[in-house]
Amino acid sequence: MKVRILVSLKDSVLDPQGQTVRNALHTLGYESIKDVRQGKVFEIELEGVSQEEAAKVIPEISDKVLANPIIEKFSWQILEKG
């Protein structure tokens, strides 16, 4: 099974990197870009687990390792069913 996890700063946390990217896009003339939030992507392969088990493991490792819950949030989706 292949899973994609997205980790990004919480909405309440200022994202200066995202803002800098947005400003650069404005400089290039892309005035319609209202906001940019930058994050990280993890693609994870799991072996020998059911979808239910994955639904338990993925939030657990995201909370414990991949994201710092004080400043970050995460979401995930299954890319390939195993």
Task: Name the residues that contact another protein, by CB under 8 A.
Answer: 9, 13-14, 16-17, 20, 65-66, 68, 70-71
CA-to-CA distance for 82 and 72, rounded, in angstroms? 28
Continuous H helices in the chain: 16-27, 51-61
Task: Please state, in angstroms and rounded to a whole number, the distance separating the CA atoms of residues 39 and 31.
Answer: 22
**Least distance (Å) from another protein to the CB of residue 29?**
23
Is the CB of 46 or the CB of 66 nearer to another protein? 66
Work out how close the CB of 7 gets to another protein at its nearest, in angstroms, rounded to a whole number. Answer: 9
Of all helices (H) and strands (E), which one includes residue 63? none
Q: Which is nearer to another protein, 51 or 68 (CB)?
A: 68
